Chains A and B, each alone.
Chain A
Amino acid sequence: MTCRPTDFHPALRVVHWLMAAMVLAMLFIGVGMVSTTGPLYLVLLALHRPVGIAILMLVLIRLPLRLATGAPTLPADLPMLQQRIAKGTHVLLYAAMLGLPLIGWAMLSAGGYPVALTKGIALPPILPHDLALYALLREAHTVVALLFFALILVHFVAALMHGLIRRDGVLRSMTVGHAKPAVGPPTPTEKYSTTPAADDD
Chain B
Amino acid sequence: MPSDKRFIIAPIALISAIVLLLVVGFAWAAGWIGGRRINGGDVIAALDYNGGKHPGYRRAHAKGLCLRGTFDANGAGAALSSAQALARGRYPVIGRFSIAGGNPLATDGRNVFHSMALILKTPDGQQWRMAMDHTPIFPVADVASFIALQRATRPAPGTGKPDPAVMKLFLAAHPEVKAFQDYMAKAVLPDSFANATYYSINAFRFTGRDGTSLVRWQFVPEAPLAGLDKKALDRLPRDWLFREMEARTAKRPSRWHLRLVVANPGDVTDKATVAWTGTHRTIDAGTLTVAAVEPEEAGACRDLNFDPTILPAGIGLSDDPLLPARSKTYSSSFTRRAGEGPGPSAIGKDLHGETVR
Chain A positions near chain B (C-beta within 8 angstroms): 27-28, 31-32, 34-42, 45, 111-114, 116, 119-120, 122, 129-132, 134-135, 138-139, 149, 153, 156-157, 160-161, 164-168, 192, 194
Contact = CB atoms under 8 A, between A and B. Distances in A.
Given A27-B26, A28-B25, A37-B325, A119 B316 contact: yes
Contacts of B11: 160-161, 164-165
B1 A167 contact: yes
A103 to B, nearest CB: 14
A134 B8 CA distance: 48
Contacts of A40: 324
B85 to A, nearest CB: 13
Contacts of A166: 1
Interface residues of B, number: 52
Contact of A149 (B26, B143, B303, B309): B26
Nearest to B121: A114
Contact of A112 (B303, B319, B342): B303
Contact of B339 (A35, A139, A153): A139
Nearest to B303: A131
Nearest to B319: A39
Contacts of B327: 41-42, 45
B305 A112 contact: yes
26 contacts: A27-B26, A28-B25, A31-B26, A31-B30, A37-B38, A37-B39, A37-B40, A37-B43, A37-B143, A37-B325, A38-B38, A111-B334, A119-B311, A120-B126, A135-B335, A135-B338, A156-B19, A156-B22, A160-B11, A160-B15, A160-B18, A164-B14, A165-B8, A165-B11, A167-B2, A194-B2
Given A32-B29, A116-B310, 4 more contacts: A113-B310, A120-B126, A168-B1, A194-B2
A34 B338 contact: no
Contacts, number: 126
Interface of B: 1-2, 8, 11-12, 14-15, 18-19, 22-23, 25-26, 29-31, 37-40, 42-43, 124-127, 143, 303-305, 309-313, 316-317, 319, 321, 323-325, 327-329, 334-335, 337-339, 341-342
A31 B127 CA distance: 26
Nearest to B313: A120
Contacts of B338: 111, 131-132, 134-135, 138
A35 B323 CA distance: 16
A149 B29 CA distance: 13
B342 A131 contact: yes
A42 B324 contact: yes
B58 to A, nearest CB: 12
Contacts of A134: 335, 338
Given A36-B37, A194-B2, A42 B309 contact: yes
Given A28-B26, A35-B29, A42 B313 contact: no
Contacts of A160: 11, 14-15, 18
Contacts of A39: 319, 321, 324
A38 B324 contact: yes
B15 A157 contact: yes
Nearest to B82: A120
A131 B321 CA distance: 28
Given A32-B29, A165-B11, A38 B37 contact: yes
Contact of A135 (B312, B323, B339): B339
B33 to A, nearest CB: 11
Contacts of B334: 111
Contacts of B125: 114, 122
The 3 closest A-B pairs by CB, nearest first: A35-B31, A164-B11, A31-B30
Given A153-B22, A164-B14, A194-B1, A42 B339 contact: no
B170 to A, nearest CB: 20
Given A131-B342, A166-B1, A114 B127 contact: yes
A194 B14 CA distance: 19
Contacts of B19: 153, 156-157
A134 B338 CA distance: 7
B341 A132 contact: yes
A114 B325 CA distance: 20
A114 B29 contact: no
A55 to B, nearest CB: 18
Contact of A119 (B31, B37, B313, B323): B313
